[in-house]
Amino acid sequence: MEGLLSRCRALPALTTCGRQLSGYVPHRFYHCGPERGKRLVLSRMFQPQNLREDQVLSPEGRSGDLSCKSQRLMLQVGLIHPASPGCYHLLPYTVRAIEKLERVIDQEMQAIGGQKVNMPSLSPAELWRATKRWDLMGKELLRLRDRHGKEYCLGPTHEEAITALVASQQTLSYKQLPFLLYQVTRKFRDEPRPRFGLLRGREFYMKDMYTFDSSPEAALETYGLVCGAYSSLFHRLGLQCVRVQADVGSIGGTTSHEFQLPAEVGEDRFAVCPGCGFSANMETLHSSQTSCPACRGPLTESRGIEVGHTFYLGTKYSSIFSAQFTNAHGKPCLAEMGCYGLGVTRILAAGIEVLSTEDSVRWPSLLAPYHVCLIPPKKGSREEAATELTGGLYDLITEAVPQLRGEVLLDDRTHLTIGNRLKDANKFGYPFVIIAGKRALEDPAHFEVRCQNTGEVVFLTREGVTEFLSQVQVV
């Protein structure tokens, strides 16, 4: 068992098994939250499934348009459902995964001093006209007028709004800086050709942080802090992202980096020097450049999905909106700014894209909607007597392993064989699947524990199961 434990655990244990429960008390089955005495059961989940691949269609109704693995799998197992081109209903499993990702983001951002805000999606046109981006952004901006004729856009980003907000606080002192203000909200972009499911849509979740510092040196220090937090985030998720030099684009500023997740379906191309570690988006290099500008060594080109982007803005926005603070000499100075984005829904889809097999979802570390799936015997089978033992094991896990409360799902579709339900569990990608099979009738009962991410299988007693699961980390 120790070998399996060492290979399956992603991070050090947070807690150990507290106490073992001896008896089994019958419980009713519920689909609601993790309160004690209630079990989460699969039959009550709202999860439209298309587990036969030939039933999966794109939003336009053509199966041939499913040109990326994550889109196909997420539609197939009922993680998303098309609403219109570039827009998807996010279904319960996906919402749980996104909530977990947001918690990890909160942890990393608040560890460096981030403060969470929430700005309106409706952004007045005059703010965008002040920075000239109302025209510069062109058709990407989703624009609308209210009943009074006032123009707005649905914000794809919030540099204007946050700078105007900080500028409205006219008594800021250098002693209060830096400010690291961030939000996780829906964003909107009128993509000319939305595709790849959640990888490129018209409506998506994004984490955007905006920083305000008292000097260029302090702003660059903050820039390094945020980039470090991004690297920590992707490491915790088990995603091998590459930080590359990038173009500033319509956001502006003088320095920019992207965090690229290598993937065959990636729309970006970037180059890395194996010798010195230099890396850059190919857009920033000359088209014929094949050698590293730093050490002259050969460059290796890859395709990637952009999951994060950072910008040092200087005073581009603070000068327009007069976002000022009073320095140590009592004089007003413009704040030095930075902005930092993470594509929340894109990180989830990109993680599924690179980690999954062709026919089964695999989740980034910490983000599995449910960590454990219990499969009791089929009704009417020889092993049916072990059904109550499975319920008792569910209760034991949720009591003895507190961090897994609300993380254990019971597949109560006992009209199906264990094999069929195991096949579904594999498609859904639960990290751990526990089966009550023939050995559950032994004395003591032994349960089959499958680690989905490694393919390893071990048989454990009730106490062994809780000891094993006590080392699972969740957020």
Distance between CA atoms of residues 354 and 423, nearest Å: 21
- Assign 3-state DSSP to the chain and report helix, strand, coil percentages, each to 5: 35, 25, 40
In this prediction, residue 27 carries a pLDDT of: 43
Distance between CA atoms of residues 31 and 152, nearest Å: 41
172 in any annotated domain: yes
Tell me the per-residue pLDDT of 198-232, one tens digit each, with 9 for 90 and over. 999 999 999 999 999 999 999 999 999 999 999 99
Residues 302 and 393 reside in one and the same domain: no
Residues 385 and 447 reside in one and the same domain: yes
Residue 24 pLDDT > 90: no
pTM, to two decimals: 0.91
15 in any annotated domain: no
Domain that holds residue 240: 69-355
Residues 329 and 405 reside in one and the same domain: no
In this prediction, residue 7 carries a pLDDT of: 58
In this prediction, residue 254 carries a pLDDT of: 84
Among 355, 384, 418, the domain-final residue is 355
In this prediction, residue 299 carries a pLDDT of: 96
Residues 420 and 301 reside in one and the same domain: no
Tell me the per-residue pLDDT of 272-322, one tens digit each, with 9 for 90 and over. 999 999 999 999 998 888 999 999 999 999 999 999 999 999 999 999 999
Higher pLDDT, 30 or 182: 182
Q: Mean pLDDT check: name the lowest of 24-38, 166-180, 411-425, 459-473.
A: 24-38
Domain tally, the chain? 2
Region class of 16: left (phi > 0), else alpha (psi between -120 and 50), else beta: beta
Residues 260 and 115 reside in one and the same domain: yes
Mean of pLDDT values over 349-372: 97
In this prediction, residue 47 carries a pLDDT of: 80
Residues 423 and 454 reside in one and the same domain: yes
In this prediction, residue 287 carries a pLDDT of: 82
Among 299, 322, 355, the domain-final residue is 355
Contacts of 288 by beta carbon, 8 Å cutoff, 6+ apart:
none
Contacts of 172 by beta carbon, 8 Å cutoff, 6+ apart:
166, 324, 325, 326, 335
Residue 12 pLDDT > 50: no
365 in any annotated domain: no
In this prediction, residue 57 carries a pLDDT of: 54
Q: What is the mean pLDDT of the chain?
A: 90
Tell me the per-residue pLDDT of 406-458, one tens digit each, with 9 for 90 and over. 999 999 999 999 999 999 999 999 999 999 999 999 999 999 999 999 999 99
pLDDT confidence bin for 266, thresholds 50/70/90: very high
% of the chain with per-residue pLDDT over 90: 84
Residues 154 and 263 reside in one and the same domain: yes
Residues 144 and 277 reside in one and the same domain: yes
